[in-house]
Structure 1
């Protein structure tokens, strides 16, 4: 899996309503929540400072920094028993997976977000594969493939800002390129089973159950 991603030439609004989404609807997912990782938060904030002049970007507050891994489904189509069974299956599988150690450094400007790629990607992909296997076991293989947001190649990353308009990417690329920031390496020893909404032009979770990885 290649970790190399090129900058986009232009950006577009991230907040278009994807299929199934509407105001007030909550979603269940398995993502890494990043606010406990102080050094990563500081790195994100350095780049966000450079991005503040751009009104076309929504900077992500520290509590909502995350590394997207695997969507599960909308809460109104999952029963409490299914959620409980899925949590049990994920806990069992992730106890046997090596704990990812990954590095973040330079951001990439993409069509809908400015994000920090996680390298190497393979340790996180291994965790994701086990989560997907647990979803297939509890909810069925079709549920894995049809989960919203699973289209395209998987590139683990932490977004620092979302685009809220159509705009040229060049000035944004120039701004983050001028930031002098050190690389940050962190240990991802827990992953969150989260429930979130996007009512306020941000992903905000109302539940975050931390599941240990590798122990």
Structure 2
């Protein structure tokens, strides 16, 4: 086994079907949380909502902290703390990032939502999903390394008029816990990423205004 192929190691209970189920359930959680987030709430209020929804939908555990970012905090990376506890405005933007275990497998998904009618915020949220879709199609053509995927994402983001945060470059998932395999970032993976093993992350910033957007999903 090469050093790169060892980054795609999985446990004896792993299955692509189980990964897809975990991912579907994670998206259900995100949609349920987003439906309850309204202007006037604070990030801390959204965290309470998230915990309630996760319990209602029967998650086994979380495997990374629940991230819900409002406004300018949408520019923060996973490892950065939010600034304060902002209140969601009537014309605002927010994203949800969940890492949840269902059926012994790791779901990980994230999406951006808007309130009101700020057209640039709406365009930013849509662009994160559009760029994700373009990169996923590029992956599906075959023969593209993880490094090449993010080179392509960077070029596409520039063409679309957005700033891609290359500190966020995707990561491994599998049957829990994936961390024992030391898979590293998708954007550093020198081989073609396998199906049902990697999360493609896209984080964009508006070129002049203080907000961004995030989208991630399983490459499958």
TM-score if structure 1 supplies the norm length?
A: 0.27
Structure whose residues are more often helix by fraction: 2
TM norm structure 2: 0.26
Higher relative CO (CA 8 A, sep ≥ 6), structure 1 or 2? 1
